């Protein structure tokens, strides 16, 4: 079970967003939930397509949050229990229905939230929410009628290990030995991670296939919008 967020959290669910009857909901934009193993290229793909991006990794709990799971003697940041799924879902629904929302800024090296920022979709009909736990939100986002698609990027394990380690060392996310140890654990567990994401509703695609699908959703959404204003 995911721990509850402290009452002092400045990024709190907005009242009323989740109790609108389904037939009365108004969706300004739809979300592509983008997940995959760490190092699979989620962030790079989001940048390539040029759509607004909600970074779901910014919704991690702080390192001193009570009852965080432990592994290898440190907090197990690969567990969904270290992540505030309720706040992440709220941000997605708010963006889809209003076009903007406040989102946290999270510093991975210190494992702590450092502030917040405003994310505005600028009238885009599609946005991306990317992170290793994105699949956890497929069912709820579908129920809220804000989904465009859910994708799990699949690449060779050697590639994800290399890209992940290069990124983490370059950003000094954790001590080098910890990064290598976690990287090897990620590589061993990658097939299980992908299988879970698929079971939760994501379609497994290569990097290139994922880019094509996201661009196709954008083209379709723009065509629908144009037809509605003609």
Does residue 17 or residue 143 have the better pLDDT? 143
Q: Looking at residue 14, what is its pLDDT?
A: 44
Q: Looking at residue 151, what is its pLDDT?
A: 97
pTM, 2 dp = 0.79
Q: Is the pLDDT of residue 182 over 60?
A: yes
Which residues have a Cβ under 8 Å from the Cβ of 194 and sit 6 or more positions away? 36, 37, 152, 154, 204
CB atoms within 10 A of CB 77: 21
Check residue 201 and report its DSSP letter.
Answer: T
Q: Is the pLDDT of residue 124 over 50?
A: yes
Q: Looking at residue 7, what is its pLDDT?
A: 37
Measured between alpha carbons, how far is 11 from 115 in angstroms, rounded to an integer?
Answer: 10
> pLDDT tens-digit profile of 81-123?
999 999 999 999 999 999 999 999 998 888 899 999 999 999 9
- Show the domains of the chain with their CATH numbers: 27-229 (3.40.50.300)
């Amino acid at each position: 079970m995911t721990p509850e967020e402290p009452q002092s959290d400045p990024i709190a669910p907005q009242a009323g967003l989740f109790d609108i009857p389904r037939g009365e909901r108004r969706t300004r934009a739809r979300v592509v939930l983008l997940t995959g193993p760490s190092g699979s290229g989620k962030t790079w793909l989001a940048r390539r397509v040029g759509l607004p991006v909600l970074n779901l990794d910014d919704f991690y709990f702080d390192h001193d949050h009570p009852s965080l799971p432990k592994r290898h003697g440190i907090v197990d940041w690969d567990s969904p229990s270290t992540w505030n799924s309720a706040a992440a879902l709220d941000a997605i629904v708010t963006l889809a229905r209003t076009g903007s929302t406040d989102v946290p800024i999270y510093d991975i090296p210190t494992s702590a939230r450092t502030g917040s920022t405003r994310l505005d979709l600028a009238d885009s009909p599609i946005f991306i929410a990317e992170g290793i736990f994105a699949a956890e939100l497929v069912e709820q986002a579908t129920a809220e009628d804000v989904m465009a698609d859910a994708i799990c990027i699949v690449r060779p394990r050697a590639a994800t290990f290399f890209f992940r380690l290069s990124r983490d060392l370059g950003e000094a996310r954790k001590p080098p030995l910890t990064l290598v140890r976690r990287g090897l654990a990620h590589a061993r567990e990658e097939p299980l991670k992908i299988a879970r994401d698929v079971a939760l509703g994501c379609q497994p695609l290569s990097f290139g296939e994922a880019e094509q699908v996201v661009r196709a959703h954008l083209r379709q959404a723009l065509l629908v919008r144009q037809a509605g204003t003609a």
